[in-house]
Structure 1
Amino acid sequence: MNRKKLLISLAMVMLSMAGLAADNLPALRVQGKNLVDANGKTVVLHGVMDTPNRYFNGWRWQQWKADYSEADIKPCLEYFSKQFSAITDKKQGAYCTVFRLHMDPCWTNDPAKKAENEADISAFNMARYRLYLQKLYIPLIKDAIAHGLYVIVRPPGVCPQDISVGDTYNRYLKGIWKTFAADEYIKQNEGVISIELANEPVRVHLSDGTKDERALHDYFQPVVDVIREQGFKGIIWVPGAGYQSQYQDYVKYPITDSEDNFSYAVHVYSGWYGNMTDKNYDHDTFIRNFKSQVPMVETKPIMVTEIDWSPEDPDKASEGHWNE
């Protein structure tokens, strides 16, 4: 589920963004339960996510190659520009107002090293990250904004299954976001660009590996602090545990933010929050369980950054696949 190109509802609150000029997106911030513009107008965002990876885009912008280089940037940017045009084309009934960008590790990993999976950061190369931040990721962000899209950015890869406060992955996230948040273009557009701290933490522990209610706070609070230390004042979206479905521990140990401009990014898939199959569902059960697992939905705007509720594919039912 971590890298599928999924239609997502990037969510909350009450009013639509229709009619905004593409080059004049109002800055947004968190205010109580809502996202609001400078006039205090409540705003709803909805859109899609994607990753600048050839494989996960069905080879539409390049055929297979062993790795990624600067020569691959142009066709990637051209493909995404077409995609941004399509998802904002109101004549075709497309009304996306936000795009979630994965800074895919296929660009940031050293091609001379072998990573076992997306959670393996042993091949990550900071020099490549800095290079492609400037030459690929920021140009993608600029183009999305030019098409009238707000942009949420997530770090390269996914969280390992078990992470602990102060571990290698914790330091990795701080390094990624310190570099990103310090960029002048990012800061100049901080009301349009927001940060999702990590993708799908599963089990989060204290530094000694023990389970504790403080672990989520102690893991992500320093990452928030590093971002603010760079002068970035935009919205920060904080993940929970359980593949971004468990947030109860933040009630007792909440994130604090010098800018008071943060909330939580949540994922929703079939079978989660008490709804198991197409034939076993109930909206009251879903709402009740969602409020239990994501209690801050009552007080803050929740951004759903991944969602798939597509019907079951009868030809693949035995494999547990869905008709995405």
Structure 2
Amino acid sequence: MRTNNMWLLLIFLLAIFSSCSRLEEKTLTSESERSLKSNVSAQAVTSWPRPTPTLHVGGKYLKDPCDNNIVLHGVAITPSPWFNGCQYGANSGYCTWDNYNVQDALNYNKAVVDKLSSAADGWYLNYIRLHIDPYWTNDPGAPIPEDDISRFNYNRLVTYTDQVIIPLINHARSRGMYVILRPPGVCPHRIAVNDAYHTYLKTVWTFLSQHPSLKNADNVMFELANEPVEILGTNGNWGTTGNEHFAALKNFFQPLVNIIRNNGANNVCWIPGTGWQSHYQGYVNNPITGGNIGYAVHIYPGYWGGVNTYQAFQNAWNTNVKPIADIAPIAITETDWAPQGYGTFGTGSTGTAGGNGFGANLKYIVDQSGNVSWNFLAPDDLLHKGDPNAGTAFNNDWEACAAPAKQWFQQYAASNYPMSNCTVTSLVNNGIYEIEFQTDANKVLDLKSGEDANGAVLRPWTRNGANAQRWVAIDAGNGYWRFVSKASASNRCIDLTSNSNALGTAIRLWQNYSNDAQAWKVTAVANGYYKITSKVDATRGWDVPNCTMDGNSNLQLWDYYGTSCQLFKFKFIAMN
């Protein structure tokens, strides 16, 4: 986002973008098997804040050291007077500091971090997008646009990184928060390979990636630039979405990644796209390399011609983001919404997933993708006027972003957070267990009708103590287990149909062949719950369609997202 002199320009452009046709509502399952949402009470959420083990990129996912797929949820923080309350006026009561007062800047921003990571206050954020604002890195003087680097002072970058940025990062870590660090300012409207702004970014990232408190810090990731708009294509033409423009983006950002990696920093790097971070499709053919690469997206209700209905949003996502989201993790590092009159950057409503509105459709689409972290534009999107002592922003109006975000982030926190203790399991070889679903503690894995036959159905069913609900854990070596039914006279076991890793493949009872289709890794997640993944495909495991517990939906293979029907407890009964 661009502020001050750029603000009116963007409001004008977004107003133009916001016109779109009204579409018929489409009904979507409110809690599908792909949603990360868990129906849990506040009391069921795990202890918070959590540790911040180093994250890495594996395939299209951000992962923790235990190979769990992780999505983060947070807010952007900019330590400058304007973003710390002074936009409401010097005498408003919200303007907390000015005149380069480092301690007051730290006090305010630490208080915001404390508030938004406080389970006692109902907030479960686990990352911040931290902007090294030009307020600190430019020589003082009359206001200039954020893309103007004419007063950049390297010595001020060094000084205030140490005095402001590092203390905030360390405090964020103490509150269980990761940091996506953003360089000072925003891209000019037009950028080109080896232009002055490119040289500026090389200077900034050379310094930051060598800093001992940033380089390979467990909770620090890098977002390489903010909001490129147009780039000079390899064909000599300015633009945003042509292959020649993505080829130029690769030539622009790859050298920055190379600098970072050559300095020995393996921090996750988030790469922006053009069009104020809205276009990514061409990165599929022009990927940034170097390992630990994701892509940083911005989405507001006015983007892509207006995305205030489900179909418009889904179509725009499929065109602009999904191609790269299919192969790399995504972080939405700016978004917000509220109805007209609340003063948010994005004008829209929460609405209904599958129908009209922005927020609910945003959540639905990113949950379906399964690899999208996201944060709000500023603390003011969550707290009234950004005040850490105030309540929920926008009078707790559900159609504005704060109220739903508070609920949704709590739900995410119940089942998706990084782990560092990778103790596989406490299962005992030849132990007999009931396997309980997190979705409903009264439901356990059941062999339908106790049928001892190849292809017999496995499903959730109410606990009744029968042998059809008891499973013998057999150590298969290297952290894998087989599960033999106590109801089977011939030791039939849990089996992946046809050894197939296709989504939706049935998991059933079958003759025991001791093969990979019958080997399952049991990995601790939290609070006594485990995920159970296949040796055939380590990214996929046990799942029940739509988390339906009525016995009509059978066990299947699906991507692991940490939903409540993908988490299990083992209740020890006896030795076999």
Shorter-chain TM-score: which interval?
0.7 to 0.9
SS at structure 2 position matched to 1:95 = coil
**CA offset at residue 313 of structure 1?**
2.2
The code of the aligned residue for 2:319 comes to S
The code of the aligned residue for 2:202 comes to K
CA contact (8 A) 1:115 1:121 kept: no
The yes-or-no answer on 1:104 pairing with 2:133 is: yes
> Equivalents in 1 of 2:202, 2:233: separation in Å?
17
The code of the aligned residue for 2:257 comes to V
> Equivalents in 2 of 1:232, 1:253: separation in Å?
22
What is the aligned partner in structure 1 of residue 276 from structure 2? 243
Stretches of structure 1 lacking an aligned partner (at least 5 in a row): 5-11
The code of the aligned residue for 1:178 comes to T
The code of the aligned residue for 1:216 comes to L
Superimposed CA distance per residue, residues 41-74 of structure 1 (whole angstroms, 9 cap, x where no aligned partner) = 1112001002101122213464554xx2xxx111
Instruction: Give the alignment partner of residue 92 of structure 1, picking from 94, 117, 121.
Output: 121
**CA offset at residue 14 of structure 1?**
4.8
**CA offset at residue 306 of structure 1?**
0.1
Pair 320,22 (structure 1): closer, same or farther in 2 beyond 3 Å: closer
Greater RCO (Cα-Cα under 8 Å, separation 6 or more): 1
The code of the aligned residue for 2:79 comes to P
> Equivalents in 2 of 1:64, 1:105: separation in Å?
14
The yes-or-no answer on 1:223 pairing with 2:256 is: yes
Stretches of structure 2 lacking an aligned partner (at least 5 in a row): 5-33, 39-44, 87-93, 239-243, 350-380, 382-576
The yes-or-no answer on 1:74 pairing with 2:107 is: no
> Equivalents in 2 of 1:165, 1:208: separation in Å?
12
Matches within 5 A, 1:99-138: 99-111=128-140, 113-114=141-142, 116-138=144-166
Instruction: Give the alignment partner of residue 275 of structure 1, picking from 284, 306, 319.
Output: 306
Superimposed CA distance per residue, residues 77-132 of structure 1 (whole angstroms, 9 cap, x where no aligned partner) = 11111111100111221000000100000011011x55620000000000000011
The code of the aligned residue for 1:90 comes to A
CA contact (8 A) 1:114 1:123 kept: no
Pair 145,302 (structure 1): closer, same or farther in 2 beyond 3 Å: same
Pair 83,43 (structure 1): closer, same or farther in 2 beyond 3 Å: same
Q: Of Structure 1 and Structure 2, which has the larger fraction of its residues in helix?
A: 1
Q: How high is the TM-score relative to the length of structure 2?
A: 0.49
What is the aligned partner in structure 1 of residue 62 from structure 2? 35
Query: 198-207 or 102-111: which moved more?
Result: 198-207
* Misfit runs of 4+, over 4 Å: 12-16, 20-23, 206-209, 319-324
What is the aligned partner in structure 2 of residue 9 from structure 1? none
**CA offset at residue 289 of structure 1?**
1.3
What is the aligned partner in structure 1 of residue 182 from structure 2? 154
SS at structure 2 position matched to 1:269 = coil
> Equivalents in 1 of 2:311, 2:234: separation in Å?
38
> Equivalents in 1 of 2:216, 2:281: separation in Å?
34
**CA offset at residue 282 of structure 1?**
2.2
**CA offset at residue 234 of structure 1?**
1.2
What is the aligned partner in structure 2 of residue 8 from structure 1? none
Pair 89,306 (structure 1): closer, same or farther in 2 beyond 3 Å: same
> Equivalents in 1 of 2:46, 2:180: separation in Å?
21
> Equivalents in 1 of 2:293, 2:326: separation in Å?
15
Pair 170,156 (structure 1): closer, same or farther in 2 beyond 3 Å: same
The code of the aligned residue for 1:299 comes to I
CA contact (8 A) 2:273 2:279 kept: yes
Superimposed CA distance per residue, residues 219-255 of structure 1 (whole angstroms, 9 cap, x where no aligned partner) = 1111111111111101000000000001122122211
CA contact (8 A) 1:236 1:262 kept: yes
> Equivalents in 2 of 1:154, 1:87: separation in Å?
20
For these two proteins, the number of residue pairs brought into alignment is 301
The code of the aligned residue for 1:125 comes to N
What is the aligned partner in structure 2 of residue 232 from structure 1? 265
> Equivalents in 2 of 1:20, 1:3: separation in Å?
37
Matches within 5 A, 1:1-324: 1-3=1-3, 14=36, 19=46, 22=49, 24-59=51-86, 60=94, 62-65=96-99, 68=100, 72-111=101-140, 113-114=141-142, 116-189=144-217, 191-206=218-233, 210-211=237-238, 212-213=244-245, 214-257=247-290, 260-275=291-306, 281-294=308-321, 295-313=323-341
Pair 203,38 (structure 1): closer, same or farther in 2 beyond 3 Å: same
Superimposed CA distance per residue, residues 241-286 of structure 1 (whole angstroms, 9 cap, x where no aligned partner) = 00000112212221111xx21110000011223435xxxx321331
Pair 307,266 (structure 1): closer, same or farther in 2 beyond 3 Å: same
CA contact (8 A) 1:108 1:132 kept: yes
> Equivalents in 1 of 2:314, 2:235: separation in Å?
35
Pair 153,246 (structure 1): closer, same or farther in 2 beyond 3 Å: same
